[in-house]
């Protein structure tokens, strides 16, 4: 039987999860901590790094709690790495953090924690959970500059019922302050989403190994099919990108479409870039209740994007058509579109096509 006071805290070696563990221990929870071994890097080194694992262990020692390191490489490879490679191969821009939270942290790890008798799983995410009428609501983190609810929108009611985000009510500055006051052995600068393979540099060499075709140079064309230049591998580009095209043109050019079949990047001017509609699939609704009618919400089309007002039409089959009040420049297939009402996450899905993407 799980004891309601027992919490497992997932430590990444960073400051946020360390402070999460400290806050829960302070509040009287019986805490144990864990780090997931996710993969090996190109040189055979562990990810997270031995230094990060060492810091996580040191934090646990300081708090006087039991620490575990467990092997999650299989789950991570199946649910995150394979997805990441498949998405880049298909010319889309994936959000690996979304399946990682859903299947690895709040799937594999949550199951593990529950099996050990823990009642909750806590992470260092900047997000909040609020219980209303027996249901869980997911809210943005209090610190809007650090909010990570975007990566958590696929969690189910059951997962949320077990989740705790202790730093979600704090600002990053406050978290750093707590770590400093308690002399927690953390470095402070590592963001949790940079721990795995998204860290700059490593991700390019990762693709070189697993999806070399995504790094093969190819052609850049305009919407009329005219050859404008060469690109350095489609994985280096995303819709709406302006920098790094290496083309001199009278007007700034942006990436309009990525075509893996022809290894071609289609570019155009700012006028050609805007889209005001897209199709979203695999819609997941936090409350579990599908709204039967079109509704208004604010949509975030990337992790750092500013929320934009939209009208959402549920289409059945977990699809929805999302219309933006104002055209957006960077609606990108593969990225998640997350719908909010103020701070509350309503639902979200994966962008699969923009209207007129038949360029």
Partner 1 sequence: MSENRIYLDHSATTPVDPRVVKAMAPYWTDVFGNTESSHAFGREAANALEGARQSVADVLGCRLSEVVFTSSGTEADNLALRGAAWAARSAGRGDHIVTTPIEHHAVGRTVDQLREVFGFEVTRVPVDRHGLVDPDDVSAAVRRETVLVSVIMANNEVGTVQRMVQIGRICRERDVLFHTDAVQVPGRLPLELDEMNVDLMALSAHKFYGPKGVGLLYVRRDTDLASAITGGDHERGRRPGTVNVAGAVGLTTALELAEEERVEEHVRLRSLRDALIEGVLARVPDSQLTGHPRYRLSHHASFVFRGVEGESIVQALDMEGIAASSGAACAEGEVEPSFVLKAMSFAPEWGIGSLRLTLGRSNEESDVTRVLEVLPGIVGRLRGGA
- 284: number of Cβ within 10 Å: 19
Our CB check for partner 1 shows the closer of 13 and 348 to be 348
Site for partner 1 in 267-326 (CB under 8 A): 279, 281-282, 288-290, 294, 313-319
Instruction: Take residue 114 and report the two structure tokens written for it.
Output: 């529950």
Buried b / exposed e over 14-28, threshold 16 CB at 10 Å, is bbbbbbbbbbbbeee
Min dist CB 133 to partner 1, Å, is 17
Give min distance, CB of 247 to partner 1, in A: 27
- To which H or E segment does residue 202 belong? helix 202-210
> Would residue 136 show up in a list of annotated catalytic residues for this protein?
no
Kindly list the strands in the beta sheet with 118-122, ordered across the sheet, starting from the edge strand earlier in the chain: 66-71, 30-37, 3-10, 118-122, 163-164
Q: How far apart are CA 171 and CA 319, in angstroms?
A: 35
Q: Does 173 bind partner 1 (CB under 8 A)?
A: no
Does position 31 interact with partner 1 (CB under 8 A)? The reply is no
Output the smallest distance, CB 321 to partner 1, in A.
Answer: 8
Distance between CA atoms of residues 356 and 141, nearest Å = 35
Of 299, 347, 92, whose CA–CA distance to 211 is shortest?
A: 92
The yes-or-no answer on residue 100 being catalytic is yes
Q: Could you say whether residue 353 binds partner 1 (CB under 8 A)?
A: yes
Question: Least CB distance from residue 256 to partner 1, whole Å?
Answer: 16
Q: Does 89 bind partner 1 (CB under 8 A)?
A: no
State which residue, 13 or 334, has the beta carbon closest to partner 1: 334
Closest CA to 15 of 129, 201, 170, 199: 170
Catalytic choice (97, 136, 196, 278): 196
Contact positions vs partner 1 (CB under 8 A): 279, 281-282, 288-290, 294, 313-319, 352-353, 355, 357-358
Residues with catalytic annotation? 100, 196
């Amino acid at each position: 039987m799980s004891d309601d006071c027992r919490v497992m805290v997932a430590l990444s070696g960073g400051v946020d999860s360390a402070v999460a563990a400290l806050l829960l221990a302070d509040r009287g929870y019986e805490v144990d901590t864990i780090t997931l071994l996710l993969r090996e890097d190109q040189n055979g080194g562990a990810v997270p790094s031995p230094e990060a694992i060492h810091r996580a262990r040191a934090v646990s020692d300081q708090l006087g709690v039991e620490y575990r390191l467990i092997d999650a490489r299989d789950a991570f490879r199946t649910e995150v790495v394979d997805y990441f490679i498949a998405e880049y191969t298909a010319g889309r821009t994936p959000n690996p953090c979304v399946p990682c939270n859903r299947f690895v942290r709040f799937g594999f790890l949550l199951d593990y924690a529950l099996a050990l008798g823990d009642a909750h799983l806590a992470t260092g995410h900047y997000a909040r959970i609020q219980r209303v009428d027996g249901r869980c609501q997911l809210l943005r983190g209090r610190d809007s500059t650090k909010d990570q609810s975007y990566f958590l929108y696929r969690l189910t009611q059951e997962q949320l019922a077990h989740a705790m985000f202790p730093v979600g009510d704090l600002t990053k500055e406050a978290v750093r302050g707590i770590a400093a006051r308690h002399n927690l052995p953390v470095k402070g600068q590592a963001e949790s989403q940079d721990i795995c393979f998204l860290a700059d540099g490593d991700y390019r060499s990762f693709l070189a190994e697993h999806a070399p075709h995504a790094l093969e140079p190819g052609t850049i064309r305009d919407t009329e099919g005219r050859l404008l230049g060469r690109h350095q591998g489609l994985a280096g580009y995303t819709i709406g990108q302006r920098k790094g095209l290496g083309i001199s043109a009278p007007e700034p050019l942006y990436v309009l479409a990525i075509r893996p079949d022809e290894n071609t990047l289609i570019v155009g001017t700012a006028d050609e870039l805007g889209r005001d509609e897209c199709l979203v699939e695999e819609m997941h609704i936090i409350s579990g209740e599908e709204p039967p009618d079109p509704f208004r919400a604010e949509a975030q089309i990337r992790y750092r994007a500013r929320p934009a007002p939209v009208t959402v039409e549920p289409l059945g089959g977990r699809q929805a058509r999302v219309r933006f009040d104002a055209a957006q420049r960077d609606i990108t297939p593969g990225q998640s579109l997350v719908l909010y009402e103020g701070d509350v996450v309503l639902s979200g899905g994966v962008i699969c096509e923009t209207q007129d993407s038949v360029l």
